[in-house]
Every structure is written in C-alpha cells, then in structure tokens.
Amino acid sequence: MQQLGDFIADTDGDLCRWERASQQRWGRLRHIVTGMRRFGARDVRVLYPSGHGLAVRVTNAPTVVIADAPTAGRAGGFAKTTKPSTSPTLTPVTRMLIWQSAQSLPNLAGGSQSNIASFASTHCPTPPARCITPNTLLLCSNDVNASTAVPAYLGISATSLPVLAPDLTTVASNWNNLFGTLTEVLSLHGMVGNRMWTGCTAAGVTDGSLLNCDDWTSTASSAYGETGYTGGSTNSAFFYVGSLCSDATLQFYCVCGA
C-alpha cells in the first residue's frame, strides 16, 4: 500500500496520488490536485469519497483510474485500474549495414570500444536505412579486433545476418564472411572511392605489429595508420596501405544493425 503523500507512476507514465485521508480531511485535496498538475497531470478529479478514504483520477490516458475500493480485501485501501498494458513491439535486427563516415583525422582519444562507439555516434552520417542498433566503426586498436568486437557491441551474431552496402546490395553473407571473402567492390555500391582507417589485417584483427596512429590518439605527420580501400575487393578493402595520421581526407567504415 502506498503511504500518505507518495507519488507513483503507472505504465503510461501518468502521475497518480494515493491519499489515505478520511473524509474529514477534504481540505488536503486542493493541495493534492495542485501538486499533481504541477507534475503535468491533466483533468485531475476526485472519485468515490467514502468513509474508507479518498481517491483521485488522472486522465493523461483516459482510462487510468485510481478509485476507493474497500471491498478489495484491504481496509481503507485503494485499487488501481488501468487500460491493459501492452509491451512495446521490438523490431528484430535482420541485417547489418556498412557505410562511410565523414572525412576525419583519426583522433578518437584512444582505441577503446567506448571511444570507438562515441566517435561513430558523431561522425557517421545518416545510414542507408534505419538502424536499430547504435552505430560503431569497423576499426581495430590495441585492444579491439573489429571481427569480433563489432558484432559483440551490436549484440548480433557474426554468422547469421547479411552485410549490406549503402545501395543495400548484399556484399557478404554474414559478418565473418566480410573478411577475406568480400563478394563486391564497395565503391560500386554507394561508397566513394577512398582510403578508410581500419588498423586491421585483411582478417579484421590487429596482430600487434600494425600501425594505428598510436592507438587512435595521434594526428602527427610522423605517425601512420593502416587503411583499407573501398575500391578494392577481398583483402584490400580493409588492409591496403599505411597512411599518414595527419591526413584529414580519409574516412572510417560505419556499421550498425538494421
């Protein structure tokens, strides 16, 4: 049982007040109603006054009612009745999308998965279709291998969903097959021909000897990072050549589940 003065929120987000006062305390209702309206409630009404207490109705959602119910098995208690709640419909992830970020220097403030995802959230433009998951990057660092980190971060199986290019052409039957068995040239399917920061081998992993702009913290002209090429197929799409970390014309591969 809620206590005098407590606010609760029902499944529709409506603010409701439980008041266990007696009929002799009607003066408190004005303060109850005023307080509820301050919290955004509309059409607040008193219902069913009785010797067992007072009840209040809030109609942000028209069928939400709090009513005095002395027959509910609780002396002086109230029963809350609402319209049947429904669980939100969850849209299943059925594919993965890969597209290009804006041109950028490779300074992510470090190569952790959280830094990679944070960078993707601000540098990946509108995807080719609606993403269901957050964005991330196909990027390897000292501690992250893109081949395993991307599906793990997105909560997606690496072996079950096709990977689609910006024009929604399937370029790999699943995430694992994107590396080493890429079936299409990405620049022919909606990507601009350009080098792409990856830090990965052709297998989508870091082997400890690859260059990654000092774990994606440096934009110095003396540092290098591994890049792929959207005009390449199979191995060169993700492992092409080392590029100067001061080059602001390169891009990243953005990824999401859709």
Dihedral Cα 56, 61, 63, 69, nearest 10 deg: -30
Per-residue pLDDT at 90: 63
Higher pLDDT, 12 or 126: 126
pTM, 2 dp: 0.66
Strand-strand pairing, 251-257 and 45-50: unpaired
Q: Which of 52, 81, 110 is the last residue of a domain?
A: 81
Alpha-carbon span 94 to 158, nearest angstrom: 12
110-131 pLDDT per residue, tens: 999 999 999 999 999 999 999 9
Is position 2 within any domain?
A: no
- Inside any domain, residue 88: no
Print the domain residue range for 30.
7-81
Strand, helix or coil for residue 47? strand
The pair of structure tokens assigned to 188 is 């022919």
β-pair type (251-257, 195-197): parallel
Same domain, 76 and 139: no
Q: Could you say which of 53, 81, 109 is where a domain stops?
A: 81
d(CA 242, CA 221): 12
Q: Does residue 173 sit in the same domain as residue 240?
A: yes
212 within a domain of the structure (yes/no): yes
247 within a domain of the structure (yes/no):
yes
Specify whether 123 is located in the same domain as 249. yes
23 and 111 fall within a common domain: no
What is the tens place of the pLDDT at every residue in 44-56?
444 434 444 444 4
The whole-number pLDDT of residue 234 equals 77
d(Cα 78, Cα 74) in Å, to the nearest integer? Answer: 8
Kind plus residue range of the DSSP H or E element containing 148: helix 146-154
Residues 185-210 have pLDDT tens digits of 999 999 999 999 999 999 999 987 78
Residue 255 in this model has a pLDDT that exceeds 50: yes
